[in-house]
Amino acid sequence: MSRRFAGTIQPAACLTTLIMALITAPATGATPPARPAQPATRLPAAQVAYLTSCGGCHGIEGKSAPAAVPTLRGLTGSFLCTRQGREFIIRLPDVALTPLSDRMLAEVMNFVVFDLGAPVAGGGKARPYTVAEVARLRQHPLTGTGLTAYRNRVVAELATRCRVPQGLNVYATQSIASR
């Protein structure tokens, strides 16, 4: 029962008709059984900050399309094997320039490298990031460099000094070893 105007159906008339049909339809008497409330999972603040600041690109579990965005899961801890690698991941532009406080960024990066990015190369003896270290490193973001080439150099050094997963070499559509 819709009105036509110049050969078309007027959307407002259709919507009104639909709403009226739903409101006046006889009730079936069957109501779905109530489901018991599920307790909400409480996440640590660092994990929430990761999900809202990093998870959109790197994935909620640290898994991404490595040709476009580096995967973090099981790989990022490898960067802690060398001083250059350790500094590199804090100086990345999206990390260094995030609006997170130095304290929260230190917590997020420790979550990323020790939880998502584990195992840590070099036997897992790496120390967590401190607030002071993060504050110092983020003052020098890697904004004036070819980031992929710089990353390749950092990963090449990691590979010579540490036992790193092969997946660390995969980024930007081709293996670093093939470049």
Q: Read off the pLDDT of residues 67-117 as tens digits, 9 standing for 90 and up.
A: 788 889 988 999 999 999 999 999 999 999 999 999 999 999 999 999 988
Nearest to 172 by CA among 67, 61, 24, 60: 67
Q: Does residue 5 form part of some domain?
A: no
Q: Does residue 73 form part of some domain?
A: yes
Mean pLDDT of 137-159: 90
Could you tell me where the beta strands, DSSP code E, fall in 112-162?
A: none
Q: Does residue 161 form part of some domain?
A: yes
Q: Residue 21: which pLDDT band, with cuts at 50, 70 and 90? A: low
Burial-class residue 116 by CB neighbours within 10 Å (0-12, 13-18, 19+). buried
Q: Does residue 127 form part of some domain?
A: yes
What residues make up the domain containing 110? 45-178
Find tokens 């018991």 and name the residue.
Answer: 36
Q: Does residue 9 form part of some domain?
A: no
pTM for the model stands at 0.72
Q: Residue 167: which pLDDT band, with cuts at 50, 70 and 90? A: confident
The total domain count for the chain is 1
CATH code of the domain containing 154: 1.10.760.10
89, 95 Cβ separation under 8 angstroms: yes
Return the pLDDT at 13.
Answer: 54
Q: Does residue 100 form part of some domain?
A: yes
Rounded distance between C-alpha atoms, residue 119 and residue 79, angstroms: 10
Q: Does residue 27 form part of some domain?
A: no
